[in-house]
A and B are shown apart, each in its own frame.
Chain A
Amino acid sequence: MTPDLMEAGAQRLEAFKARQPNPAGSSGDRGASYGRVARVGEPDFAHGVALYLDEISVSFDGFKALNQLSLTINVGELRCIIGPNGAGKTTMMDCITGKTRPDSGQCFFGSTIDLLRLSETDIAQIGIGRKFQKPTVYEPLTVFQNLELALRADRRVRASLFHRLSGAELDRIGEVLTLIHLQHEAQRTAGLLSHGQKQWLEIGMLLMQDPKLLLLDEPVAGMTDEETERTAELFLSLEGQHSLVVVEHDMHFVDQLTQGRKKVTVLHEGSVLAEGLLSEVQANDKVVEVYLGR
């Protein structure tokens, strides 16, 4: 089936629907999945699922980093993932962002995009942003320039060569600068920022991309208590507009984020050990055993 035929079919369908009287019990404008035309490269979130991992397995030289991992993140959800060292948290992020190819399993973004077929660059462009464990910013560039590079725009060579910032783009950079509390550091070289500020800058760079899904690997490592608190506030304000997956060791931070009502996932030896509220999970015998040793 060629795109032309599909387009023609979609038009016939629209025309047909326009002729039909609205039947009782119809689901409004949103038809069942057959009626909607999936656009290429645009994630489909109509089913409420942002990220779907199914039985992902990865092994490195016989060591199973991920073992039949299944996980679902809903649209707008903020999910914390905890687990001891070596539980496979970073490998999971590598699989989602295309850095590592799993040996088996499925990984979907929305209900139509198969992430295992895309490159890192494509995955970033369709709306998955990733923050590394170690803050990774472009140190010789200024804070402003760091954000400018992350700005959602045409990523091709020629477009970058002749790029001029528009007023709206400048406003957007200003907005994010305020959000990450770096408005007074805009013209400072990023390498001169404190560790916590670099973490924020990297988060700011993610926000500039305007991603649908944010993957944050230990975002508050090395931050002061005050900075941690501000970060929690920032993430909570993003919840709903973006889906967030936060991998974290700091239980206090996880508690701030989940506010006692959000789900937490515990990974252990490459698969999900437990899922539930933080209080439930912390009371779980298996989890206690894993964390405290047998």
Chain B
Amino acid sequence: MSSAVLSSPRGVLLGAKGWTAVLAASLVLLVGVPVLNLLVPADSVFHLGDYAVSLLGKILCYAICALAMDLIWGYTGILSLGHGLFFALGGYAMGMYLMRQIGRDGQYRMDLPDFMVFLNWKELPWHWTFSDSFAFQLLMVVAVPGLLAFVFGFFAFRSRIKGVYFSIITQAMTYAAMLLFFRNETGFGGNNGFTDFKRILGMPIATSEMRVFLCVLSAAVLILFFLMARTIVNSKYGRVLQAIRDAESRVMFTGYDPVAYKLSIWTLSAVMCGVAGALYVPQVGIINPGEMSPAASIEIAIWAAVGGRGTLIGPIVGAFFVNGAKSWFTVAFPEFWLFFLGALFIAVTLFLPDGIIGLLKRRKKEGA
């Protein structure tokens, strides 16, 4: 038995091409964007406008969600239609901190956030106790989506809820959370949510420098998450996940407990979305229960499907493609965007089951 036959491809995180691509992306996003926005003069053709930077930062956050969706849907075969909830929870945790940073600069010039003053509340509700601590709210960004996903997943996976039933329950979960957050009594600003942020860590939030910094940070997190996801799917653990996707009963009769595997990747995926939400909120300057609407969660699944499930790079490409198209469409033909999105999803399902990346791979194979 030659060792060449038996050597498994494990240990190789990325090929030479892959590393080059990651390096190039890092260079463009982490160095190129700040230079083009801050150093190149505004009248130059190479200048990157503030609008482009904030759009890019937003899409990078979406790409993190799409990557998280790919781990759970593309690799483990569990379609979640509730990932928007985890995204929103991370966003709300960050938003709470940003609300406290407004201080007395709000409309009412009071210590309490404006919406509380409006509701005639005299003091902070209990769950806002530590909201002026950046570190504590960062912990919440990870802990709240993680804990919710863990508890929800524990009961769902233990009860062997699978396939479309699981998807529907996640959808119901995010819808229920949306209704809860719509209520003023919940203490998260009702249907207006949080907005009008002024500062983060004492620094003004609406400056070019902060915008570029948040965009670069989002890019760095995305690249880090991508490498982490790559490590995961290349490990034996990652292969067990794929095995669960393709033949769960075989996995059980081989002695693996699918519940532990599903629960761990499900929780990780939720935490990734939470982090994306926390990066998103300071960049767009608003968070409201609309982010928990079922449609928002379905969109995440569409990004992953359009880009190509089970490839890691695919969902990132998909998030850029769909959101790029969205920002162009909503300007050019605002009333047709949803029709286009629907048509795109149908077209991808029918003609491109492996998404854009699948199409590129097929082209390459035919060309070779």
- Chain A residues engaging chain B, CB cutoff 8 angstroms: 97, 99, 119-121, 124-125, 129-130, 132, 136-142, 144-145, 148-150, 155-157, 160-165, 170, 173-174, 177-178, 183-184, 186-187, 205, 209
Q: Are A139 and B253 in contact (CB under 8 A)?
A: no
Bound-complex Cα distance A140 to B258 (A): 18
Q: Are B235 and A163 in contact (CB under 8 A)?
A: yes
Q: Are A136 and B249 in contact (CB under 8 A)?
A: yes
Given the known inter-chain contacts A124-B252, A125-B255, A138-B250, please indicate yes or no for A157 contacting B5, CB distance below 8 A.
no
Q: Are B254 and A205 in contact (CB under 8 A)?
A: yes
Q: Are B1 and A183 in contact (CB under 8 A)?
A: yes
A139 contact set on B, CB distance < 8 A:
246
Q: Are A161 and B237 in contact (CB under 8 A)?
A: yes
Size category of the B interface is 20 to 34
Considering residues B1, B250, B253, which has the most beta carbons from chain A within 10 angstroms of its beta carbon? B253
CB pairs A–B below 8 angstroms (13 shown): A119-B257, A129-B253, A130-B253, A138-B246, A142-B8, A148-B236, A149-B254, A162-B235, A165-B8, A174-B6, A183-B5, A205-B250, A209-B254
Bound-complex Cα distance A125 to B255 (A): 5
Given A130-B253, A183-B5, 19 additional A-B pairs, CB 8 A: A120-B253, A121-B255, A121-B258, A136-B249, A137-B247, A138-B243, A138-B246, A141-B239, A144-B6, A144-B8, A149-B236, A149-B254, A150-B254, A156-B260, A162-B235, A163-B237, A184-B5, A205-B254, A209-B254
Given the known inter-chain contacts A136-B247, A149-B243, please indicate yes or no for A161 contacting B232, CB distance below 8 A.
yes
Q: Are B250 and A132 in contact (CB under 8 A)?
A: yes
Q: Are A157 and B1 in contact (CB under 8 A)?
A: no
B321 contact set on A, CB distance < 8 A:
none
A-B CB contacts (within 8 Å), total count: 93
B260 contact set on A, CB distance < 8 A:
156-157
Q: Are A155 and B256 in contact (CB under 8 A)?
A: yes
A132 contact set on B, CB distance < 8 A:
249-250
Bound-complex Cα distance A142 to B247 (A): 15
Given the known inter-chain contacts A145-B8, A155-B257, A157-B264, please indicate yes or no for A140 contacting B240, CB distance below 8 A.
no
Q: Are B255 and A155 in contact (CB under 8 A)?
A: yes
Q: Are B237 and A160 in contact (CB under 8 A)?
A: yes
A144 contact set on B, CB distance < 8 A:
6, 8
B31: min CB distance to chain A, Å: 33
Top 8 A-B pairs, shortest CB-CB distance: A124-B255, A160-B237, A125-B255, A163-B236, A161-B237, A174-B1, A120-B252, A136-B250
Q: Does B261 lie at the interface of the complex (its beta carbon under 8 Å from any beta carbon of A)? A: yes
B10 contact set on A, CB distance < 8 A:
164-165
A53: min CB distance to chain B, Å: 18
Closest to A175 in B: B1
A97 contact set on B, CB distance < 8 A:
253
Q: Does B131 lie at the interface of the complex (its beta carbon under 8 Å from any beta carbon of A)? A: no
A121 contact set on B, CB distance < 8 A:
252, 255-258
B92: min CB distance to chain A, Å: 29
- B208-244 to A contact mask, C-beta < 8 Å, 1/0: 0000000000000000000000001001110110110
- B1-35 to A contact mask, C-beta < 8 Å, 1/0: 10001101010000000000000000000000000
Q: Are A160 and B235 in contact (CB under 8 A)?
A: yes
Bound-complex Cα distance A11 to B252 (A): 37
Q: Are B239 and A148 in contact (CB under 8 A)?
A: yes
Bound-complex Cα distance A142 to B239 (A): 10
Bound-complex Cα distance A174 to B2 (A): 9
Considering residues A97, A140, A205, which has the most beta carbons from chain B within 10 angstroms of its beta carbon? A140
- B118-162 to A contact mask, C-beta < 8 Å, 1/0: 000000000000000000000000000000000000000000000
Q: Are B1 and A177 in contact (CB under 8 A)?
A: yes
Bound-complex Cα distance A232 to B199 (A): 75
Closest to B248 in A: A136
A124 contact set on B, CB distance < 8 A:
252-255
Bound-complex Cα distance A184 to B232 (A): 28
B151: min CB distance to chain A, Å: 18
B254 contact set on A, CB distance < 8 A:
124, 149-150, 205, 209
Q: Are B1 and A138 in contact (CB under 8 A)?
A: no
Closest to B244 in A: A138
Bound-complex Cα distance A119 to B251 (A): 13
B261 contact set on A, CB distance < 8 A:
157, 160
Closest to B243 in A: A138
A177 contact set on B, CB distance < 8 A:
1, 6
